[in-house]
A and B are shown apart, each in its own frame.
Chain A
Amino acid sequence: MKSKKRKLYLLEILGIVLGLIWLSPFYLMIVNSFKTKREIFTDTLKLPDVFTFDNYVQAFEELDFIRTFFNSVLITVLGVAVIILFSSMAAYALNRRKGKVSGLVFFLFIAAMLIPFQSVMIPLVSLFGKMELLNRFGIIFMYLGFGSSLSIFLYHGSLQGISKSLDEAATIDGANRWQIFWHIIFPMLKPISVTVAILNIIWIWNDYLLPSLVINQEGMHTIPLKMFFFFGQYTKQWHLALAGLTLAIIPVILVYFFMQKHIIKGIAEGSVK
């Protein structure tokens, strides 16, 4: 029994060492973001002589951080909202009316998951350009197109567990489909809605390529997009770049801190299925 305890003790130490290794890039980023340009040049490993916040002040301004942050929030919230709204409705229709048509439509959504973004990217941008939809409205519509497949799949799975007799009882009481869905079914889908929301928030919040093609205009830049230009502009000026990178990940770490249980559960559910 004693050797077992010792083994656990050693594993505990191994875990802590690995954890520190995993965190080290973040540690190095943060420590160096408080240094002057000259100090980074001489040594990146030691702690700063004097902690300076100047880098942050400048990075905050150059990134136009508040506006950039809210641009990201706007796109993410709207994108995820339309995905949740319309995917759950579609999954409900497909699940409640089984038949050849539903089978075919469901297959179409699933098959679309096989198509990598790069293989439709060029005609997509050209098509939306012609329709004058290379703007925020256009990108939200695109997120619906790219995000609905997985979301419909997840909702469809959950709906299997919600009995049709609920629908039938409500129909007898005189409710129509719209009322049945929003008042009875959708509230019951809450757990899977949380998963769908988490998966899509992570994806849209961090997405770089699509915004770079669709909303690449001053004033509309999201965090990843702004970061790309900021980094290009301050290459070799690591003190500013690192402060900017730290600013960019603070919101994510804060959310993670409060919602980690949900997030990890959501990821497990979303990828195993």
Chain B
Amino acid sequence: MRNRNLWYWLFLAPTLVALGVVIIVPLIFGTYYSFTDWNGIKITEFVGLENYQKLLEDKEFMDSLWFTVKFSVVSIFLINFFGLSLALLVTQKLKTNNILRTIFFMPNLIGGLILGFIWQFIFMKVFASIGDLTGIAAFKGWLSTDTTGFWALVILMSWQMAGYIMIIYISYLESVPQELLEAAEIDGASSFQRFMNVTFPLVAPAFTVSLFLTLSNTFKLYDQNLSLTGGGPYNSTQMVAMEIFKTAFSENNYAYGQAKAIIFFLIVAAISLTQVYINKKREVEM
């Protein structure tokens, strides 16, 4: 009997140990540290909720949280709009279908850090050249105000992630039975009616998947934020992930940074659980 259990635990051990040491133990320690004055090395006293109270009045943290929310909402909308539009386009009988899918998806293979640097060049130098050429002042000085910094990040993320979301919509769109669409066409439905009444209900699950995928990607954004704007000007485009990093590692405020990290965890977990709940509910309905 013992021998029969042994293989089971041996097969599980490597991943279970890694999960424990890399995620579970740090999360438990981290939660505890957030109630102390931990300085990265030692703890001298237990401070209760002090870090959390401080955080509520921390303008920089609250600003970054608000910026992250605004950024996520706008990006989610645009990424899904472009993603679905591209998917509808490349599922028509075009000769260029495959090459277009390849192109739209390409940015996702390249790291966010590198993409951010490429776009920094576009916004700073290429936009300036376009401004010189056309005489339109709006092209000048991107990344040097908070508004243009915001939109620069939105443009970068929409360009990058639309192709990713496109792939998800494509996999649902291609599962729509062709006979259904043809039957609707014979019955005289316009292409808009066919989309709204046949395609749309069948790809509806793709929306939940895509919405939460973009939400979790934009909410936790770090690399692109770091390389495109670096949080500037004056921290006005700084997102939560970057703010946490800075508090802990640049300002050496370990316990305080960890308290922010715990709040971040709670928000992300709440979002993800909402998704799980919605998915479950829909499965029951279907």
Contact = CB atoms under 8 A, between A and B. Distances in A.
Interface of A: 8, 11-12, 14-16, 18-19, 22-23, 25-26, 28-29, 32, 40, 43-45, 82, 85-87, 89-90, 92-94, 97, 105, 108-109, 112-124, 126-127, 141-142, 144-146, 148-149, 152, 176-178, 181, 202, 205-209, 223-224, 227-228, 231, 238, 241-242, 245, 248-249, 252-253, 256, 260, 263-264, 267-268, 271-272
27 contacts: A11-B92, A14-B89, A16-B96, A18-B89, A18-B100, A25-B122, A43-B129, A45-B129, A86-B18, A90-B12, A90-B15, A93-B8, A93-B12, A115-B27, A115-B269, A121-B245, A123-B27, A124-B26, A144-B22, A146-B23, A206-B112, A209-B223, A223-B111, A267-B167, A272-B168, A272-B172, A272-B209
Nearest to B20: A145
Interface string B205-237: 000010001000000101100110000000000
Contacts of A118: 220, 222, 240-241, 244-245, 261, 264
Contacts of A23: 103, 106
B265 A252 contact: no
B110 A206 contact: yes
Contacts, number: 254
Given A25-B159, A87-B15, 4 more contacts: A15-B100, A19-B104, A144-B22, A264-B102
B118 A29 contact: yes
Contacts of B41: 126
Nearest to A94: B12
Nearest to B7: A177
B125 interface: yes
Interface string B247-285: 011000010011001101100110011000000000000
Contacts of A260: 102
Contacts of B23: 112, 115, 120, 145-146
A118 to B, nearest CB: 5
B1 to A, nearest CB: 13
B137 interface: no
Is chain A's binding surface mostly helix, strand, loop or mixed?
A: helix
A8 B100 contact: no
Residue in A15, A25, A260 with the greatest tally of chain B CB atoms within 10 Å: A15
B180 interface: no
Measured as residues with beta carbon below 8 angstroms from the partner, the interface class of chain B is: 35 or more
Nearest to A146: B22
Interface of B: 7-8, 11-12, 14-16, 18-19, 21-27, 29-30, 33, 40-41, 86, 89-90, 92-96, 99-114, 117-119, 121-122, 125-126, 128-130, 132-133, 159, 163-164, 167-168, 170-172, 209, 213, 220, 222-223, 226-227, 240-241, 244-245, 248-249, 254, 257-258, 261-262, 264-265, 268-269, 272-273
Given A144-B14, A227-B117, A272-B171, A22 B125 contact: no
A136 to B, nearest CB: 15
A206 to B, nearest CB: 3
Contacts of B96: 12, 15-16, 19
A177 B11 contact: yes
A172 to B, nearest CB: 16
Contacts of B12: 89-90, 93-94, 105
Is chain B's binding surface mostly helix, strand, loop or mixed?
A: helix
Nearest to B240: A118
Residue in B15, B30, B172, B241 with the greatest tally of chain A CB atoms within 10 Å: B15
Given A127-B29, A177-B7, A207 B111 contact: yes
B94 A44 contact: no
B8 to A, nearest CB: 5
Nearest to B95: A12
A227 B117 CA distance: 9
Contacts of A126: 40-41, 254
B112 A8 contact: no
B19 A208 contact: no
A21 B155 CA distance: 12
B30 A119 contact: yes
B81 to A, nearest CB: 13
